[in-house]
Structure 1
Amino acid sequence: MKDALFMVEILAGFIVVFSILWSGICFLIAWVSGWRHLASLYQTTPLKEGFYTGIYGRIGLANYNGVLRLGFSEKGMYLHVMPLFKLGHDALLIPWSELKNVQQSNSIFGNYVKCKVDGVTISLPYKHFGTLQSYLSAYT
């Protein structure tokens, strides 16, 4: 009986410690990447549909490999992350007028489209460059 209770306590302790560490890591990544800064300016409600999922990208200093969600509308570019990584990462709606220095970037890992938003560099897969350019030319 004591062994079973001890195992339950160990499991409960692990869940608590893991949850605290996960939360801290998610908030730290959001802060280091510049996402928190962008959220202070461009926070919105997450899209329920009409977005690309599993997007690889880079926001500031942080890589978001396969966890980004990306959407485009006449209002701007939507960015948010999968629910498991949401802590500290509010959904963003960045107006088209705020996207600066939009350009193609090449690296050994592939081609990307880069832009700056209020001092934070955002890199997205090049396959979205055409869509991004279309919206930029139509709404700026």
Structure 2
Amino acid sequence: MHPLLPWLPLLFPIFFVGLFSLVSFIVSQLGWQRLARCYAAEAVPATLDRMLLAYLRIGMANYKNVVRTGVTPEGLWLTTWKIFFIGHPPLCIPWSAFGPVRTRKFLWATSYITHIDCGGSSVQFIFSSDRLREALPASIPVQE
């Protein structure tokens, strides 16, 4: 018997955690990190009422049921589940960074598309939450 064979069951969790961390980091590079360069926050206020977003796309990365958002008068807070912490710091995006919002309907699904200004470039931001759409301030135009 090969000397490594008895250790394989113990090495699998280490391999799995390493692979999961690598995938989380790569996904963050597709959009979240571009926003984090401008809008990363140290910590989320404990009193912030947050809701889970069923669908969110930042740049080229899709986040389904892993991003929580909170709305304040200053801006939008975004956090991921704790297991996705690698490459995904909390974000606080001011409302002034949001561009106009367009509504897109396909069959029974409605999504909202905007761009977030980040240091001269912009990052596409698509979400499907009607509650988040209703929470947008009046200063952000919404094209139905």
Q: Same fold (TM over 0.5)?
A: yes
- Between the two proteins, the alignment pairs up a number of residues equal to 133
- Quote the residue 1:9 is aligned against: 7
- Corresponding residue number in structure 1 for 2:25: 27
2:65: which partner in 1?
Answer: 66
**Structure 2 CA distance for aligned equivalents of residues 10 and 111 of structure 1:** 47
Q: CA deviation at 1:8?
A: 6.1
Residues 24-50 of structure 1: per-residue CA shift (max 9 Å, x gap) = 100000001x11011111001234441
What secondary structure sits across from 1:88 in the alignment? Answer: coil
- The aligned counterpart of 2:39 is 42
Partner residue in 1 for 2:126: 123
Taking structure 1 as reference, are residues 109 and 25 closer, same or farther at Cα in structure 2, changes over 3 Å only? Answer: farther
Q: Once superposed, what is the RMSD of the aligned Cα atoms?
A: 2.4
Q: Partners of 2:58 and 2:108 in 1: how far apart?
A: 16
Which whole-Å CA distance do the structure 2 matches of 1:25 and 1:98 have between them? 28
Gaps of 5+ in 2: none
Gaps of 5+ in 1: none
Q: Report the alpha carbon displacement of residue 108 of structure 1 after superposing the two structures with TM.
A: 4.3
Once residues 75 and 82 of structure 1 are traced to their aligned partners in structure 2, the CA distance between those partners, rounded to angstroms, is: 23
For the Cα contact (< 8 Å) 1:55–1:70, is it kept in 2? no
Letter in 1 for 2:18: I
Cα displacement (A) at 1:52: 0.3
